[in-house]
Structure 1
């Protein structure tokens, strides 16, 4: 979708695999920012292509649960390849630690999908003005020290390590992870070793527990 923007109007990339969600966000953005241009994406791959087309985008509005994302791994990849383009997460995830982790990884904000429409556009306005936006539940004074430490540790993982951890959280063994990521099994083992070190845990099981605390457990089937 391409709507002609006025010179001062922002450019958005709205990335969500639910057309109704994309349309609702586009309508809200159009009302809040007259003349805004909105590009749509329904997967991580489409998001990366949209940002390639529009490197002048003012904000990417990104869902964590869509094809190719693998949770925070998709955010890590997007930030790695397009560090200059601001990203705001709009997600159904409710974990405060996950919200803090997103900011630690370079997101400009985390807006829960259950936030009222007017508050979503107000948050986006704040982000465009340079603020970092989080809901009250995830702000520093309300986040437990253990969760804050987990978020900071997880934010230090590389994009590939985030993807390995997400697949580990889905219960997949190294051989399957290697196949899905098109890398060797020894490379997966090396990633797992580094993941354990960076998370400060001693076993694969403990790493999966951390992933679950961060909201990286497999999402519920859509429509369920």
Structure 2
């Protein structure tokens, strides 16, 4: 059973929420759901990860963060990783149209507390927030044992094709670093990082950085890369 990060055993009081989504109409509808049926007193909204990080740095943190995976300044699960780093004690609810099992598993491993599809009804949001208040995690319509991150033999096989340098680069991508940051971290040129990223996606048989990260998450990739 997956356990939510840093939640106390007693009931958590949820009075405020921050929505991070770049679709204004959806934000408005979700805010009405949270302030209405769910009973959240104060709901704010921002349209990018950068704005969310600024809000978390400058103001008192909300009781819950509601995060979309598809943001204009986010690659894959970078948003979850960076929000978790900025607010390690704050529950994160993912609300996304990307609700396939691999995405859910990877998001759980990255530290979310609830996963609700964008097409869910208002009652589902209420159940998700109630679970968070109890110190539990909630995944809409999916058995938690089934959704728990699990290793994939195929993912492991493909990951074994990576060189040590490529493995480290993929690990850093999973931590939310961009190519320029990875180049600085590994003391190599940014063009070299880009070439490695292209090779990584080719070897894994994927087309995006997010898909590469999902492969890594599914196979518990951290266990495959030892310290240099």
Q: TM-score range by the shorter chain?
A: 0.5 to 0.7
| C-alpha deviation, 1:22, in angstroms | 0.6
Counterpart for residue 212 of structure 1? 211
Counterpart for residue 77 of structure 1? 82
Counterpart for residue 226 of structure 2? none
What is the TM-score normalised by the length of structure 2?
Answer: 0.65
In the alignment, is the contact (CA less than 8 A) between 1:9 and 1:33 conserved in 2?
A: no
Cα 1:106/1:161, change in 2 over 3 Å: closer
1:114 aligned residue (115, 119, 144):
119
For 1:101 and 1:191, locate their aligned partners in 2 and report how far apart those are by CA, in whole Å: 24
In the alignment, is the contact (CA less than 8 A) between 1:13 and 1:50 conserved in 2?
A: no
1:126 aligned residue (108, 124, 131):
131
Cα 1:186/1:55, change in 2 over 3 Å: same
Task: Give the total of aligned pairs.
Answer: 186
| C-alpha deviation, 1:140, in angstroms | 2.4
| C-alpha deviation, 1:32, in angstroms | 2.4
Counterpart for residue 58 of structure 1? 63
Counterpart for residue 188 of structure 2? 186
Cα 1:49/1:141, change in 2 over 3 Å: same
What is the TM-score normalised by the length of structure 1?
Answer: 0.66
For structure 1, list consecutive stretches of 5 or more residues without a partner in the other structure: 1-7, 168-176, 196-201, 217-224
**Residue range with higher mean Cα deviation, 20-29 or 76-85:** 76-85
Residue correspondence of structure 1 range 23-62 to structure 2 within 5 A: 23-34=28-39, 36-62=41-67
Cα distance per residue 1:147-172 (max 9 Å; x no partner) = 5996xx99xx76654446xx8xxxxx
Greater relative contact order, per chain length (Cα 8 Å cut-off, separation 6+): 2
